[in-house]
Amino acid sequence: MRKAVFIDKDGTLIVDVPFNVNPDLIRLQNNTVEGLRHIRKLGYELIVISNQSGVAHGHFEESDLKQVEERLQELLSEHNLSLDAFYYCPHHPEGSVERYALDCDSRKPKPGMILKAAKDREIDLTSSWMIGDILHDIEAGNRAGCRTILIDNGNETEWVMNDFNHPDFTVRTINDAASKL
């Protein structure tokens, strides 16, 4: 079986611009590329796991996420890197677009996206990691059976702890996270 680093998109892999699908505004976080290269050298797949409630709230269409994925691949390819997969959840229980206004098992902090990716790609979750910038990312990873790393960059504002959202490590950047694997 394979191993993976599941990585949150907004605020972790890329600079967070709320509800953005404009490729021109997408840029990698600072202190990311060397860490991603190290993750690759260690034999991990790179898989994005992202809540995209902008679809449920009517800010953009689900089809717009294809150009986001393409832009991410383009930015990473400039550094001889790539994503192995891109998973997102378009749902939100309070969404204004009826078909997306639901509480599903994929929306973080639930582990559904990670579990689906693991099944689709034959990933051993006990050998894998979830890296994210908020406690919902950590909870999803822990519930899926991964080890977890919180990027403490100021995006987590609530700090409401529970039995499932304690990270194995807390660091400042993806470069720092890679040294913990």
Which residues carry out catalysis?
8, 10
Distance (Å) of CA 100 to CA 92, 96, 107, 141: 7, 8, 11, 23
Give 60-93 pLDDT, tens digit per residue: 999 999 999 999 999 999 999 999 999 999 999 9
- Of residues 56, 126, 55, 113, the one with CA closest to residue 86: 113
Is the predicted pLDDT of residue 157 greater than 90, yes or no?
no
Instruction: Tell me if 4 is assigned to some domain.
Output: no
Computed on alpha carbons and rounded to an integer, the radius of gyration of the chain in Å comes to 15
Instruction: Tell me if 11 is assigned to some domain.
Output: no
Taking the model in full, what pTM does it have?
A: 0.97
Total tally of structural domains belonging to the chain: 1
Domain of residue 62 covers 21-132+143-153+167-176
State the CATH number of the domain containing residue 87: 3.40.50.1000
Give 16-45 pLDDT, tens digit per residue: 999 999 999 999 999 999 999 999 999 999
